[in-house]
């Protein structure tokens, strides 16, 4: 039973509707229903009936679309030389399959076990993966979203190595016990044929040979299998006779083995950095042993051992010396040398140093047949954080230019923004200025991983993703049609002087590392104004120009200080959004420690910015050029607080930003500060809380950092940092992670310890290094999923933070728009809407000069309007709808090049667009203001300021992101909750349209990078190196299949070289090798059921259909074709034998005739 109180409805404090419990701390996605006060009359009630909302729940569905970036924590690599597609496995159980640009597929093992090895069924549209949980999986690649067709889980043995011969359906599987099993790829059932380790080694051997580290069939004879054991034993096993043909022993551990294509020699790499070359005719010892990077001893002794050679490949060429390529093997006496790949070609040795450790590499060859000259043309090198392809056809071994967006993490990502359906001219313009900075020296050959097929699909609107990074760089990406291509890179750090290391001077920096990290971004695509807020409390305004300029950078300094009493005294009969909980928790301030940025003894910093802007003229290339740098300064020894909200408007020529101290408004056209005011002063007499100023001296004892505590008991999560500085993790201007403190001893602090540690002296910076979104898992060093969930799902409105204790009301949302500032206004005017961390909304009036001519000279007046609205929880976003319910676009100035050659007349008028084209010039007599906080959404009618609709979004959690977006020519409110729910609400009535528990927030990276945009699109950083895009639009989910690339395309398998009839067919063997006859159930019997368990795949209908007409069907057809071929060869063989018998009979008959008439004379005939 709902109870309504008119005043409480307007305050957004309605009694909540019954909430569906979801157990534990996860909370509910939607708390209360939409509320319309029955007593509202007149104009406030009429719009509700006029506006026809077109969006229904049928328009919404959530699904992941595509993943961009470098696979996180890669472990395995495979390549299909006919289809020309590449597969990368990861430690998290993911597989990324790459082809030509646009062909990029992500799939995930349900178990999440690390991928040990990948094997393509070459030109069959299938892939076998071996995982760390000792399971084999067969993936069908003949569908746009690959699915598992079969799985085989080993129960008693651990998989260490797999080998699938070309055009074979029998997979060899080596295990940790040293045994080799054989799996039928078609049925995914174990064969009864097993090569036991004790049968493979000599009976006289007393020790176990170790795990199987290599398996390969001989290029010369498919009936012979080479087995390499870890301890240095090599066995050449005859599959037909089930015995070892030869055994070889070496006293160093084996890491890999590679064949010469003729099948007479093979090469091994060892743990001492040596390469051994073995001949099958003399297996007693290697006929060649080399340590490529070992120092040659003077006295003729064996060269010094080196680091292990982890992998070697031995590839032959018809017209030149063979290539020997290996990773590792460097000398121990150079510990600082980077990981390297060595290419030996004849007598030339080339060492390619890498930026990251090598995970795996593969040599790409012209032929898939192992018994032909390999003719290598490239090497794919998989590094821990990069993918490199080396061109082997040129003597200097250049690398190919990588077309994939795998450098997203070049510097850790700290924030993201996503713009769909932006102006179409932006992408070519950004590409044209970005293309001038491309690197030179790449190979002139085409990218060799060129498989698959991709087309644009039906989606045609342009999309741009912007990523901010820890080094101060900003990257613009073309994200149209579910692809990603880098357009332009902006380095914001170039406006500042570099801090010289070792000067010994005291600096004013407030972060030890990454002082230029990008914290927030604001972009106006129509005017091309771009604004960046950095972690060192600065804002840079950029303007776009196609012309290079050489000019000085204008800069301003702003003081923001807030001094209030600790105790918040609410008005009578008012429920504050943050109840006092001082009885539950001790007072905690932000933690700090000594850093290298503390001022000298006896000095106090005041009016000093954190960084130094370059004073000399700076060359600015075409693109985004710094127009103004605004820096917050130290105040009485207190460092400036990080910026929590940012907005810019090109039509007004204003930029506004706020932090936990207050708000600043700057005129970037006149380069003047219009407003620098504490949050409390913005209220004037309208402050709903009676807060009194306190002494400035007292304020220095409190930290101004935005930290937040977990619910009692106090928990301080230890953090691995270089220095013990305080934890700050801002999401929309607020901390959502537990307070972190790093200690060299690694012990957990008690609350008493914390209280003592918090009393820092003046000048101690309250910040740790700039945390990147890519590294945010460090901020949540929790071990269990339950702890992770609890750290997010509690209600922040009932927690105690330093904001609450210090009464510092952070500015959390800013929005410039044309609206009714006061109740009695008859027309719209320029306004700045300000949202705070306590759920307050303050409207500031902007008095702009009447004409464009006076804009550069007349001052802009900013004043509080006296209007204050309230919500529960910190304000996240604003939007404005016209009287017809259409989204009103923010006013903007049409872009013009500030440095164009034809702009000689500086008085040329600015072209302003004050209203969106979709709505009429007359805004009507009223409009709707949409405001969303962490807890609830409200729609107000203006100018009456009546709350028409309120929706309590969540009671037990809080929103991390909320955006008003357009979809299907309508508008809705999209929300992402800390408990993992993604929700959409209709506008203006706030009806729930979608509520799905979709994405658990397991670390801060997701929270900091999640963002919605128009047309049902969203994204977040799924790992430190990858961007995951998703859609909440039913239409896009329906069309997704058409937009994705095809991994498999019909390609003819190249013909084998004609090397003689029988030799070409059977690799030089005297007889054909029938694996089916040898490994089949009829001959080998059944394997033990307890050894491995067959699990049918969950590929769905499409997977079954793909399997029926795809991999297995094709394998069956291939087998039938081979049988027919074998039958024809058998018939030919029979005819040949018949002819030979006939010839022999003829020869015998002729011989008899010759003997009969040998002694007769001519006259006796």
**Would you tell me how many other CB atoms lie within 10 Å of the CB of residue 655?**
28
For residue 1028, give both structure tokens. 């995951």
Mean pLDDT of the region 867-876: 94
Mean pLDDT of the region 82-100: 95
Q: What tens digit of pLDDT does each residue of 553-590 get?
A: 999 999 887 665 443 444 433 344 333 333 333 332 33
Mean pLDDT of the region 36-52: 45
Q: What tens digit of pLDDT does each residue of 796-810 get?
A: 333 333 334 345 789
Tokens 């000095």 belong to 603
Q: Is 489 in contact with 438 (CB distance < 8 Å)?
A: no
For residue 849, give both structure tokens. 């000069």
Please give the pLDDT value at position 27.
40
Enumerate residues 6+ apart whose C-beta is below 8 A from 754: 586, 588, 591, 714, 716, 741
1111-1156 and 1100-1109 are packed helices; what angle lies between their axes, rounded to 10 degrees?
A: 10
For residue 453, give both structure tokens. 């097929």
Q: Is 771 in contact with 722 (CB distance < 8 Å)?
A: no
Mean pLDDT of the region 747-768: 37
Tokens 């070049």 belong to 410
Please give the pLDDT value at position 659.
93
Q: Is 518 in contact with 872 (CB distance < 8 Å)?
A: no
Which has the higher per-residue pLDDT, 395 or 922? 395
Q: Is the pLDDT of residue 309 over 60?
A: yes
**For the chain, what is the mean pLDDT?**
78
- 72 CA to centre of own chain: 8
Q: How confident is the model at residue 680 (pLDDT cuts 50, 70, 90)?
A: confident
Q: What tens digit of pLDDT does each residue of 980-990 get?
A: 999 999 999 99
Enumerate residues 6+ apart whose C-beta is below 8 A from 881: 887, 888, 927, 928, 930, 971, 987, 988
Please give the pLDDT value at position 1096.
86
**How far, in Å, CA of 309 to CA of 328, rounded?**
5
**How far, in Å, CA of 1153 to CA of 1147, rounded?**
10
**How far, in Å, CA of 1015 to CA of 1035, rounded?**
10
Enumerate residues 6+ apart whose C-beta is below 8 A from 711: 794, 798, 799
**How far, in Å, CA of 842 to CA of 814, rounded?**
10
Mean pLDDT of the region 336-349: 88
Which has the higher per-residue pLDDT, 1122 or 542? 542
Q: Is the pLDDT of residue 225 over 80?
A: yes
Please give the pLDDT value at position 1042.
84
Would you call 1039 exposed, middle or buried from its count of C-beta atoms within 10 A (0-12, 13-18, 19+)? middle
Please give the pLDDT value at position 1094.
84
Q: Is the pLDDT of residue 299 over 50?
A: yes
Q: Percentage helix, strand, coil, to 5, in the chain?
A: 15, 35, 50
Q: How confident is the model at residue 1001 (pLDDT cuts 50, 70, 90)?
A: confident
Question: Which one of 189-203, 436-450, 455-469, 648-662 scores highest in mean pLDDT?
Answer: 648-662
Q: Is the pLDDT of residue 721 over 90?
A: no
Q: Is the pLDDT of residue 46 over 90?
A: no
CA dist 1048 → 24, 84, 105, 142, 918 (Å): 45, 10, 12, 5, 44
Which has the higher per-residue pLDDT, 983 or 1040? 983
Please give the pLDDT value at position 1121.
61
**How far, in Å, CA of 431 to CA of 486, rounded?**
8
Query: E strands of 608-716, at which residues?
Result: 618-620, 623-632, 645-649, 654-658, 662-667, 672-678, 689-690
Please give the pLDDT value at position 567.
39
Please give the pLDDT value at position 849.
87
Q: How confident is the model at residue 618 (pLDDT cuts 50, 70, 90)?
A: very high
**How far, in Å, CA of 241 to CA of 1111, rounded?**
31
Q: What tens digit of pLDDT does each residue of 1014-1027 get?
A: 999 999 999 999 99
Please give the pLDDT value at position 68.
94
Q: Is the pLDDT of residue 380 over 60?
A: yes
Mean pLDDT of the region 851-860: 84
Which has the higher per-residue pLDDT, 206 or 707? 206
Question: Which one, of 87, 145, 82, lies nearest residue 117 by Cα?
Answer: 87
Q: How confident is the model at residue 454 (pLDDT cuts 50, 70, 90)?
A: confident
% of the chain surpassing 70 pLDDT? 73
Q: Is the pLDDT of residue 474 over 70?
A: yes
């Amino acid at each position: 039973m709902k109870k309504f109180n008119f005043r409480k409805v307007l305050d957004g404090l309605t009694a909540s509707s019954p909430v569906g419990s979801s157990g534990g701390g996860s909370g509910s996605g939607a708390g209360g229903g939409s509320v319309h006060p029955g007593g509202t009359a007149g104009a406030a009630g009429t719009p509700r009936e006029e506006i026809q909302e077109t969006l229904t729940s049928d328009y919404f569905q959530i699904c992941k679309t595509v993943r961009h970036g470098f696979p996180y924590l890669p472990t395995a690599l495979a390549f299909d030389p006919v289809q020309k597609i590449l597969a990368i496995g990861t430690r998290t159980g993911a597989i990324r399959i790459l082809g030509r640009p646009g062909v990029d597929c992500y799939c995930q093992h349900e178990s999440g076990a690390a991928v040990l090895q990948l094997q393509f069924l070459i030109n069959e549209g299938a892939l076998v993966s071996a995982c760390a949980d000792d399971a084999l999986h067969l993936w069908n690649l003949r569908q746009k979203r690959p699915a598992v067709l079969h799985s085989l889980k080993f129960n008693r043995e651990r998989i260490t190595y797999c080998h699938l011969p070309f055009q074979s359906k029998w997979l060899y599987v080596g295990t940790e016990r040293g045994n080799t099993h054989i799996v039928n790829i078609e049925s995914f059932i174990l064969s009864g044929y097993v090569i036991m380790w004790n049968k493979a080694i000599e009976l006289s051997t007393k020790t176990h040979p170790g795990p199987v580290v290599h398996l390969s069939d001989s290029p010369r004879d498919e009936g012979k299998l080479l087995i390499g054991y870890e301890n240095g034993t090599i066995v050449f096993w005859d599959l037909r006779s089930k015995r070892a043909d030869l055994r070889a022993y070496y006293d160093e551990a084996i890491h890999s083995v590679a064949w010469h294509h003729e099948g007479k020699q093979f090469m091994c790499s060892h743990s001492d950095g040596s390469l051994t070359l073995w001949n099958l005719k003399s297996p007693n010892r290697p006929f060649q042993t080399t340590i490529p990077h070992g120092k040659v001893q003077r006295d003729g002794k064996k060269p010094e051992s080196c680091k292990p050679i982890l992998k070697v490949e031995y590839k032959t060429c018809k017209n030149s010396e063979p290539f020997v390529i290996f990773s590792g093997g460097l000398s121990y006496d150079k510990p600082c040398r980077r990981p390297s790949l060595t290419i030996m070609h004849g007598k030339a040795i080339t060492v390619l140093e890498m930026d990251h450790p090598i995970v795996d590499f593969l040599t790409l060859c012209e032929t898939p047949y192992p018994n032909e000259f390999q003719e290598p043309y490239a090497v794919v090198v998989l590094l821990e954080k990069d993918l490199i392809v080396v061109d082997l056809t040129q003597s200097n071994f250049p690398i190919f230019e990588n077309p994939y967006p795998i450098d997203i993490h070049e510097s850790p990502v700290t924030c993201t923004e996503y713009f769909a359906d932006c102006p179409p001219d932006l992408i070519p313009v950004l590409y044209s200025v970005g293309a001038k900075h491309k690197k030179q020296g790449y190979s002139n050959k085409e990218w060799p991983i060129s498989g698959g097929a991709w087309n644009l699909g039906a989606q045609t609107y342009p999309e741009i993703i912007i990523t901010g990074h820890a080094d101060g760089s900003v990257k613009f990406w073309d994200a149209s049609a579910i692809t990603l291509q880098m357009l332009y890179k902006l380095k914001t750090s170039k406006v500042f002087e570099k801090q010289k290391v070792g000067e010994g001077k005291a600096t004013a920096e407030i972060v030890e590392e990454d002082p230029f990290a990008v914290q927030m971004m604001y972009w106006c695509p129509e005017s091309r104004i771009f604004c960046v807020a950095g972690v060192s409390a600065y804002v840079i305004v950029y303007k776009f120009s196609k012309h290079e300029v050489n000019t000085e950078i204008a800069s301003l300094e702003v003081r923001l200080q807030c001094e209030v009493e600790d105790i918040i005294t609410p008005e009578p009969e008012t429920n504050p959004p943050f109840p006092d909980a001082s009885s539950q928790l001790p007072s905690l301030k932000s933690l700090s420690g000594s850093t290298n940025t503390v001022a000298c003894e006896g000095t106090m910093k005041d009016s000093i910015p954190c960084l130094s802007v370059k004073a000399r003229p700076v060359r600015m290339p075409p693109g985004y050029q710094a127009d103004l740098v605004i820096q917050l300064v130290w105040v009485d020894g207190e460092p400036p607080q990080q910026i929590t909200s940012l907005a810019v408007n090109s039509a007004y020529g204003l930029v506004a930003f706020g932090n936990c101290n207050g708000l600043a408004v700057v005129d970037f056209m006149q380069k003047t500060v219009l407003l620098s005011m504490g949050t409390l002063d913005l209220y004037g007499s309208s402050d709903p809380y009676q807060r009194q100023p306190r002494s400035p001296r007292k304020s220095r004892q409190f930290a101004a950092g935005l930290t937040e505590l977990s619910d009692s008991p106090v928990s301080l999560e230890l953090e691995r940092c270089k220095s013990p500085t305080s934890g700050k993790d801002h999401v929309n201007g607020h901390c959502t992670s537990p307070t972190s403190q790093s200690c060299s001893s690694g012990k957990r602090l008690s609350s008493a310890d914390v209280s003592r540690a918090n009393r820092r002296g003046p000048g101690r910076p309250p910040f740790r290094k700039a945390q990147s979104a890519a590294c945010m898992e460090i901020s949540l060093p929790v071990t269990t999923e339950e702890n992770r969930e609890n750290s997010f799902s509690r209600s922040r409105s009932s927690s105690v933070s330093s904001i609450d204790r210090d009464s510092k009301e952070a500015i959390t949302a800013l929005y410039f728009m044309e609206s009714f500032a006061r109740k009695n206004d008859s027309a719209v005017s320029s306004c700045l809407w300000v949202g705070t961390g306590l759920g307050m909304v303050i409207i500031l009036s902007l008095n702009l000069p009447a004409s464009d001519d006076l804009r550069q000279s007349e001052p802009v007046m900013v004043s509080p309007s006296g209007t204050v609205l309230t919500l529960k929880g910190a304000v996240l976003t604003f939007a404005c709808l016209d009287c017809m319910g259409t989204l009103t676009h923010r006013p903007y100035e049409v872009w013009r090049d500030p440095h164009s050659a034809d702009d000689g007349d500086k008085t040329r008028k600015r072209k302003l667009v004050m209203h969106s084209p979709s709505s009429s010039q007359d805004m009507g007599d009223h409009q709707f203001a949409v405001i969303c906080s962490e807890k609830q959404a409200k729609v107000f009618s203006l100018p009456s300021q009546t709350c028409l609709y309120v929706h309590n979004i969540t009671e037990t959690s809080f929103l991390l992101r909320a955006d008003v977006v357009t979809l299907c020519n309508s508008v809705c409110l999209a929300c992402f909750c800390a408990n993992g729910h993604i929700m959409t609400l209709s506008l203006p009535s706030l009806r729930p349209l979608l509520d799905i528990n979709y994405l658990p927030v397991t670390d801060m990276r997701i929270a900091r990078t999640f963002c919605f945009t128009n047309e049902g699109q969203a994204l977040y950083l799924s790992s430190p190196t990858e961007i995951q895009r998703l859609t909440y639009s039913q239409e896009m989910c329906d069309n997704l299949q058409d937009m994705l690339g095809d991994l498999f395309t019909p390609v003819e398998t190249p013909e084998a070289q004609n090397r003689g009839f029988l030799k070409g067919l059977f690799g030089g063997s005297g007889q054909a090798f029938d694996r089916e006859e040898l490994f089949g159930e009829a001959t080998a019997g059944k394997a033990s059921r307890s050894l491995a368990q067959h699990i049918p795949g969950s590929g769905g209908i499409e997977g079954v259909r793909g399997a029926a007409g795809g991999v297995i069907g094709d394998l069956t057809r291939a087998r039938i074709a081979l049988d027919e071929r074998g039958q024809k060869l058998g018939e030919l063989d029979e005819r040949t034998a018949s002819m030979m018998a006939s010839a022999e009979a003829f020869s015998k008959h002729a011989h008899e005739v010759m003997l009969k008439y040998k002694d007769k004379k001519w006259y006796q005939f």
